Structure 1
Amino acid sequence: MRLELSWPLLGLLLCAGLSASEEFLVEISGTTVTITCPLIEGDIKWESHGGKAGTSNDRKYIITDHDSSPANLSCFVNDGKRHHLYLNARVCANCEELDVLTVTGIIAADLLITLGVLILVYYLSKGRKGRASSGPAPRPRGQKMQRPPPVPNPDYEPIRKGQREVYAGLEPRGF
């Protein structure tokens, strides 16, 4: 019983420990990438190892006209505390960001239109039940029709005594 009570406490401690970790904040808008360093105190400097150079002001490093090529960045203070970031972000100039409300509205409208078409087809086809039938044509009721005899199948013709040469090729062969 005591162990069951400790699991939620352990989960809470793990979540608190994970949220306290220092992470970079990356914002992408069009072809501009803004990176915020997790360091808070001191004179923060940026270093770019390959990739496109950018401008920095305090904690932010801004790359304008980013061409989606990977960049290796690091931010540090003079006392030696350094954070590294490998940035592999895809950007495009003509992209539009959609918020969650817009996407939800598009999906809801699509579902409502589909449901409306479904109901419309149902009610339009409901009145046509007696008019068209997919079954065979009805027979006249006045007289009974007699069926003709079945057509014999030539593949299953019985063997006659004088005609064995037709079936001579069907004998088993020796190997």
Structure 2
Amino acid sequence: MRLEQSLPLVGLLLCVVGTAAQQDDTKEQEEFLVEISGTTVTITCPLMDDRVVWEITGTKPASNERKYVIENHDSSPANLSCSSGGNKYDMYLNARVCANCEELDALAVTGIIIADLLITFGVLILVYYFSKDRKGRPSASAGSRPRGQKMQRPPPIPNPDYEPIRKGQREVYAGLEPRGF
């Protein structure tokens, strides 16, 4: 088999092996659960014990539960860990919080975008239909004549090259007569 033909097969094989390796890693490594609501941050330790010792940036808070709640978090980064018995999990928390923020789910964002597109297309269609009837008509600013009066045409500008032949001036056009042989 040629090298060019086997490259897609090798790429597909690497993708499958990489995905399987990532799934095995996630089974072994348990994760913290972090929930943010306003300025409140709730962290759940991956340990299943009821008695968990928390440590946040060198201090030990009074909570010994699996969930730890930080009220009025100021968005400053913190190192935290939870331990129970011989197991210890570390985490670096860098959560941005704000008091007046609203969280939007994907459905709400999609609805806002679709509504915006529909309104935009509606305005475009209205502008198209209202401007379609005015095509070819002079606008009000194009002519400054008052309505109701007929506009008189100015006399044509005389062009000396196309003057009509007059009775007394035939000699000017004498060379234009047909010649007889």
Question: What is the TM-score of this pair, normalised by structure 1?
Answer: 0.65
User: One-letter code of the match for 1:66?
Assistant: H
Q: In structure 2, do the counterparts of structure 1 residues 15 and 101 end up closer, same or farther at CA, with 3 Å as the change threshold?
A: same
User: One-letter code of the match for 1:69?
Assistant: S
- Are the equivalent residues in 1 in contact too, given 2:32–2:45 (CA < 8 A)? yes
- Are the equivalent residues in 1 in contact too, given 2:52–2:82 (CA < 8 A)? yes
Whichever of the two has the greater Rg, that structure is 2
Q: Deviations over 1:108-151 (max 9, x none)?
A: 11110000000000111101111037xx99xx8x95776xxxxx
Q: What is the aligned residue count?
A: 140
Alpha-carbon shift at residue 42 of structure 1 (Å): 7.0
Q: 1:40 aligns with which of 41, 48, 56?
A: 48
Following superposition of structure 1 onto structure 2, how do residues 77-116 of structure 1 map, counting pairs within 5 Å? 77-79=84-86, 81-116=87-122
Match of 2:18 in 1: 11
- Are the equivalent residues in 1 in contact too, given 2:54–2:83 (CA < 8 A)? yes
User: One-letter code of the match for 1:59?
Assistant: R
Question: What is the TM-score of this pair, normalised by structure 2?
Answer: 0.63
Structure ranking higher in helix proportion: 2
Match of 1:125 in 2: 131
Q: What SS class does the counterpart of residue 63 from structure 2 fall into?
A: strand
Match of 2:81 in 1: 74
Q: In structure 2, do the counterparts of structure 1 residues 105 and 54 end up closer, same or farther at CA, with 3 Å as the change threshold?
A: farther
Alpha-carbon shift at residue 84 of structure 1 (Å): 1.5
- What is the distance in 2 between the residues matched to 1:128 and 1:90? 55
Unaligned runs of 5+ in 2: 1-5, 144-152, 160-181
Q: In structure 2, do the counterparts of structure 1 residues 46 and 104 end up closer, same or farther at CA, with 3 Å as the change threshold?
A: same
- What is the distance in 1 between the residues matched to 2:56 and 2:94? 14
Match of 2:66 in 1: 59
